[in-house]
Structure 1
Amino acid sequence: MDVLRFVLLSFVLLISVSNGMAAGRFKRAPYCKTRIDLAFVIDSSRSISRSDFKKQMQFVNDIVDFLDVGSDETRVAAVSFSNHLFPQFGFNDYRTKTDVLTAINGIKHSMGDATRTYLALEHTHQKLFAPGNGERPDVVDVVVVLTDGATNPGSYDRLTGSQGKQQTQKEAALIKDRGAYIFAIGVGRGVDVKELNGISSDPDQRFTIQVSGFSELNSDEVKQMLLKRACVEIETTPAPTPPPTTTPAQRVVECNELLADIFFVLDHSSSLKTEGNFNKTLNFVTGVIDYLHVSPTETQVGALKFSNIPEMQFHLTDYTDKQDVASAVSRIKWKGGNTFLDKALRMLRTEGLNKAYGSRENVPQIAVIITDGVSTDPYATKLELKRLHTLNYILFAIGVGPDRNPEELARIANNPNNVFEVESLNGLQAIRESLVTRICAKRVRAPVEIKKP
């Protein structure tokens, strides 16, 4: 690190933060432009009083308010925990500072009778930082863990206190192994310093922060300390090396050469609540189509929707250019009903990706299935999936919202990399490019011999 640059940045940060706090509120600092994917892991157990929990959330609020939050800047996610896990929001859900702060202010004090820290850390690396959920491979990952005590499984797991702490260390290690930085902030006398140091990244003196109570946590000094370390010191730390891939511009160019038959299978059950919510799904689909070259000799696109019964919207050969396909998608209406995914999969097999309805041999047969819940008849769904998998269809599963079923999504997809999960419909747009990239990886380039049905 350039010593002079570090000193100057630290000085500017100290003066500006102090001025903002002296004025009684935070103001966004133009210098704090470090691009990070920042996840808060928040203790909400009953050992924290209501007034102290408010101080803890004010601390989180103020830290976020000092960052440059946006789609191409810092992204924020959060999870809280006590006796149970309480997912709050993911990196895909909110893209403005105002929306993130509103979500933070909506986090509830669960007051559970245990401190199962390991559940929240497991959720962080398995869900928040999972591929397709908004974490960016070219941006530094930062986790801030806030707790007032040691891990305590209570009566909820067959773990002793010591085993619970070991599990917390294991989950923290998995986060750090992926290249993320963890700040562990312990509040009060009930914390286990050894456990905090095991959770945090090295060196401990930088990534472990201990305070005497929640008033000190909410002080200017502690906020300055964390902001300085996250905004200045990590700013000059290289981000984890991403896996070999192409640039976004290259991806789009390559996808222009995609030769495939693609079917969108859209859940329009009652759990979506409003047509406006369903339209968010349609906007996502039209955004994906925008990356494709639609024509009889390149990519063909079809769509069906399902709830109580499946309804074919258009077949692969009904529209032969991108504009007409996008227009047809935008006209799909929401009705509501149950989630009979099995019936939709049967229609996909018999009337969608089927030679009698325009699908082509020697061309990838791809389905993108978007659902916000579990299927009404899971057993029938399993049978239909088995039939589809024997046909070598390439299935992408996108689960939306808190009622999504990760196990069913995994069964739908042929490959774990073909599963996407978002916390809400607002998060769909953020996974669009990742989905397009993976679809395009299945491409067959023209010319190939295409046999007519």
Structure 2
Amino acid sequence: MAVFRGLLALTVLMVGVFAQRDPPEFDQTLPSCREKEADIFFILDSSSSIYIEDYELQRQFVREVINRLDVSSRSTRVGALTFSDNYRVSFTLGEYQNKDDLRSAINDRNVPYLTGLTNTADAIRYVRTNGQFRPDVTRVIVVVTDGYSRQPGATRNEADTARREGYYMFVIGVGQYTDEREWRAIANDPDSSFMFNITNYRGLDRLYSTIPNSICGLPPIILNSRVCGVREDADLIFVAGPSEADNAFSIVSNMVNALRDDRSRLRLSLLLGSCRANEVPLSDPSLFCSNFGDPTPRQDSYTNLLKDMRNEARDARGTRPQANQVAILFLGQQTMELSRFDILRQARDAQFDGIETYVVDLGVVTNANFLSSIASSRDNVLSTSGPGNLENILLNKVCDTLNEISNPLPTLPPS
């Protein structure tokens, strides 16, 4: 009996000792993710169509993905926001620099259940423009949503812009959703690698390792690997209507950043919405155009921009008749519906004036056949949904035109 009591006491003592010790932490970091340099931002749908129990499954999904990443200030950083009508930032990239703090931050206070409509476009725009991403690491945006956004066209344009700016776009679409066009428009290609459709939120557990494995295998996208040195006298004019200016501006900024004008040969002008700026130096265009006015176009909005473009080009030719003149026109569906015939007439007159015209298609669905006539040639039409890196292709083409050896233009009659 004494022996039994001694064994019992020893057992109780051992249980007490082990009970006071923290359970050993199991490191779930995936081998492919160790020391991976990446910035990942989660965009979580919190609209009214999602039950609060399912929203908690979204939060748990983010925690589980974090468990499998190598989180630190030097390797992988994670940010998140939740959105419905508006977005609310839960935590920024680098705000939490270890897994424990990140997991603890995914709670009701930081990642609240909002309810409302599905404003995906504004959420993507915030993430791609917030300035938190490091330039030379793998940059990823993960969108988790259960339905069609409030503004599908704006959502597609924001996703197109994000991809052009070097972001990988993942989409996790939840539910029996028969029309996957918007999800496909958001996700990178191929869809099989970047778009995941699951029946309900309980299916997120199948992606706990799939998503981080996919992310950690992606190389960084390095932009502006090429620059354009301007060697000849040239005038470059960017034109975008009220409804195109916001989406066009990132392309304009990246192109301006890639231009080099050591001999002061280039004159740069911006006609973007309500913003007019001429002889702009090669610096940050936002210093000269930060407000584009009302985004709703009128029937004559774009036509008036083209008239201003032609007048400005004519004045410039008075002092530099041999300068190459190039215009880049950004056109979207709204503008083409309103005034395609007037735009075509002005564009042809501009070509007669000697202006080489390029067109960037920002999602023209109907009447796209007009674009090749608005541009100086069919080869001068580029689309945000086309193959390859639009900005690099556009930069290469425009750079060649800016540096052509020019002959003086004949005197032209006024139009």
The structure with the larger Rg is 2
> What TM-score does the superposition give when structure 1 sets the normalisation length?
0.42
Q: Which has the higher contact order (CA 8 A, sep 6+)?
A: 1
> What TM-score does the superposition give when structure 2 sets the normalisation length?
0.46
